[in-house]
Chain A
């Protein structure tokens, strides 16, 4: 234990260092990293814990993430138990009181929007269901707007001297976002009623927003990988109620989607799912632009 005084000395010295101007944000998913950048500009430093190629349900509390959580002023996560397998570990191991649950430094997007697909019955025989409702909420632009407002206020609370800056940026973002939303809704009109097969319930908000119709899922039950038995069942179901397209997110295994597409003679569309999932999905606007144009390509 003779090192303890040295440790304390070093940490006190580090604490005494002038704090870096930027608000340190650890975003659990790329969509929230992109949103935090839109709102925070150069007053924030944002690190995304995951990429679009990683399944947000299956992330590990890697040492690098503990290190990031240690120095974060604000964690921006989806909540609704999407990150139940790893965020609690970051919170318990990082030694950072700011980002504990119910603290100002822990923001959950799911708190700002009403969730869909809230199960009436929660039982594991139904698969790894999301008991609080569907957490993949960022694929409805109205939700992004709501989360943006709530997040702006949280950032303003945490970094009061820059509150006006954040609110200005939020205003500008929301204006641009609303204009874009109107455009997307116009462009997306032909997608109304489009029957599609999804991989997981991670596109449900998009499906509802654009009025598309989810006729099946590649996962037999939430969180369980596709099985041949389920896929052949799905095929016979599709024979009665055909789908126009199979969609999958960038992080999903392509094989199950290809299997169905080939046999049902329908195209597979890869959707970015979140920022960074495709070349064009560089930010939130790009995410929606690319998602829509990829879906619209099917209807042409």
Chain B
């Protein structure tokens, strides 16, 4: 029988819809939260600080922070959604049904990661729309902008999925985002160009993978970047491959999923 080779699309759809269901159930909160936080960022950084910082690379400061702001939410939301999405069924025991269903690891990942990425992309677009209320938006390479948005959302949803598989408690679920991702994002040039840093810190920043994401994304908006766009793209793709490898390894070995 060829059943082993044909994809179980109804299962992917079922998982995807189940996961999105949680988002829509709390739609008010899901949508309001990013709108409020974006507004706050604009008030604090755009208006208060921006009035003193004239322009970065010829881009008004208020506009300059838009890509970083979106990236910041994209990373945190992707990781939070995906890690919680897979951790919770493990914690509650409902994972039994997924394990006993005729689903391949690829299909499980497509369902969970697809939903997590969709949610964070939606939130990214909401932030973009909110930004337009404060600053005149300008996007030089819209296709690349969407491309980076997708690539980043998928990559970090995969990363979140790995965390959700690895965590064996709610503390661990929050450990990585708190100790690693948030600092890297803030230090990755969300609110400044790393070229503004002294040479030593500039060099250190280049070890931060988030720098490449934000730089690439900013290039899509303004046509200017901290690092070469090809390198940005390459680094993002590399991280995607690493996450894919980790997920594959986890499913091969049944690590933390089956006893």
The judgment on whether A and B are partners is no
